Structure 1
Amino acid sequence: MFLHPGRVEAEIEQAATELRVGLASRRLGGWTEQDGGPLVPFRAMTTRERFEQLAGLPEGLPNGESLRRWQACLTVERVTWEDRALAEVARREADHRVAGLGDLPWSVRSLVLEVVGTRDRARRGKVAQGLVQACGDASAWAMRWAMRRHAAAHHLGIGGLGWLEAPLRDVRLPDVARRVLGATDDVMSASAWQVDGWQDVVAVGAAMDARHGWPAALTARWFRSVFGGWKTLEGLRIDPGPLCDALCGASFARALARFGAAVYRGCAGRAGGTFSLTHRPFDAASASYGALFASLLTSVPFLKRHMGLGSDTAREQAHAMGRSLLISMRVCAAQAAVAAAEEPEAMVEAHVSTATDAFGSSVPEEMVGVVPRYDPRAGARLCGALRAAILERDLVERFDEDWFDNPRAHEWLAGIDVVQRVVLDEEGARAGVEGAERYLSDLIAR
């Protein structure tokens, strides 16, 4: 059966848009067990048969591979939606009472947020104990969702989720994750903070003490105030999607990561890319721009010029955000290793070993898939962070440390090859790990 590439592109864009909107609406409005998902209307096109038919697309089609990856992504999302919804319901259901935290019931999600938000270390310890006791169902459903995703990938005939979720060539994602942890162990050990357990590392990673220069809310106005001088962004469609609440310094790093990824997609669209090329699933290229923009919050010159901070405050805040970035990368490495595990026992083993390494403190196996949270995007985010370390080094060497204010650097970043999918091979992974270790070491040593 012949499939017209233009029609396939249009169908995939429509389905992917519905998926994105559906996820955003559920994150705001809640999840239900009876939720069939936003891809139900696209059942006929999200099948193994349709995926196999795409092998007949004309050779040399610039977006051919991207269409196949999108087809696989949408199919896996549709057939595992019920498991995803049940995992989210289990995480958000407020039916847990924790000793020492009052009579009101807690959800697993609210307990995690309390770990981040409380400044009382003793209370944080109680919350952590309660979380271990409460997360049984949430962990079980997260593991089920993960295993169902792996099974769906094998049913499609793609040889596993690595083909879809890990932008790597000739190197395994768990190996890269462990390299990141090993390379940053000394940086973690040299960081000057006192912790009583993994929960305190989570709190440090949230960067609650980085509280200067932020607006009251995360809105598009903040992005315009910070990046309004970038001529290359004029007329560009930049859609970072829904932003998280402004809870802590890490909230603004996440927002900048979404903005940076949106900048990449906007530049790629201006370069003539179709939807499937500019919005690739599990895309290391857009993730690298996200990580690059988020890292600006560790730059003293950036904080002084664009956040209005004084020299001493900027240095203190850059250091706090550097610690947050270090923990974020290490947690992402643990998430990537866990997401790559194809059997329940392997998933638990990966969680216990890599999460404990990431936090530098024992993480109970009862929390697998909950802390750190299971995230299919972790592999792409990790590869994006490694590529960002390479990009940052190139930008500094070409345009100096204040590249963010250099129009030539902006033009350089806007020069995107939309056809070539960004993947890391052995050499690229090694360079990224070395670059990340060097960058993080410099941040923590300040």
Structure 2
Amino acid sequence: MKFFEANFDGLVGPTHNYAGLSIGNVASLNNAKNTSSPKQAAKQGLQKMKSLSELGLIQGVLAPQERPDVYTLRRLGFTGTDSDVISKAAKQAPAVLKAVCSASSMWTANAATISPSADTADGKIHFTPANLTNKFHRSLEPLTTGRILKAMFSDEKYFAHHQHLPDNDHFGDEGAANHTRLCSDYGQAGVELFVYGRYAFDASKPAPKRFPARHTLEACEAVARLHGLSEHGAVMMQQNPDVIDQGVFHNDVIAVGNQNVLFFHEQAFVDTQAKLDEIRRKFGTAADLHFIEVKSSEVSVAEAVKTYLFNTQLVTLANGDMAIIAPTECRDSDTVSAYLEQLTGRGTPIRQVHYFDVKQSMQNGGGPACLRLRVAMSEAEHQAVNPAVLMNDSLFVRLNQWVDKHYRDQICEDDLADPQLLIESRQALDELTQILKLGSVYQFQRN
């Protein structure tokens, strides 16, 4: 039976803006209050999806959230018509309005943690939406994310869906941005790496001092239990608190893995050698493992954060070669481009680098890896996925036409108070659910 890994990229939402909401994310803070281009952002994302599909990869689309989130504004005491609610929030709580307008769901690496059927006790693919409790604007996502995932992966024969973890920082869960999987083959049992920033119930353990550690050990352990992973099939690894304080807010900013390759910075983890030894033991065929460790003398943490060297996708092409899907910021850095050029020629499975312009996302703090959610699956499981969300030539054309019809060329901070933005967004999303055959996943449709 054929197995492969599919990528489901987040479609950038109509309210894409630079509000600087993400403390600990250097790019997000540095570009706060700049003017954004939702139309350009969506088209950059779609072009990346189409290009990966043309490379022979299975590529899908994950729909954005409804924004502005007027339902949350009503929960916070704003009353009247939708227009009244937005107007009052803009005057009385502009920071709250910015948060409920965020298009952060575009970064679907945070949407959920996924374990493939080869790893789980019941032989199904398991999905747990991330609760994203550390950031208010992201904590609004998991209920809708869960509905969208169920509409995409609905066949209970193959897919199992869990409720997100309790909405409390003790179980702070940032999804697949802190999770990767190593395996010999996508269809064989693998070792899932769960990376956490802190211990929720033990303040004596190492933790960052400047920026928050968003993901807890306890959340990692809970998801592993929900997914029916064996002790042999999971490794819990702590992210280095020092690099969190340097702007490495998720593990996928400092490490990325695929099949038998773990590509990471030497400062990525706590107790690195012991954890690599544990991975070798659990992997079983340690001789096939490739640990590619980037030294600080080769690429500094600051340069890695600036260029998102590790927030790249590491994918396996049809010919068996691995390729890095990198932002153009990596190409434009003399240090990083030189490193990648020598990496592809030194005998590792990584043989190619493909650069993509995703600047609208990068300026808000998310690179190629942030934009995608990975699902390893068999051909039978692939056939059970909602086919309307899978990228092909016709869907690419239709979604670009949809973007042209509904998206604004530019959005600045003042535009978020425009009630018309909500109307435009709902019209766009209502049409999108028909294109992707998702049903009524948004609250305005369910009401």
Compare the two structures and name the one with the higher helix fraction. 1
Compare the two structures and name the one with the higher strand fraction. 2
Q: Fold match, TM over 0.5?
A: no
Shorter-chain TM-score range: under 0.3
Indicate the structure whose relative CO is greater, using CA pairs within 8 Å and at least 6 residues apart. 2
TM-score norm. by structure 2 comes to 0.27
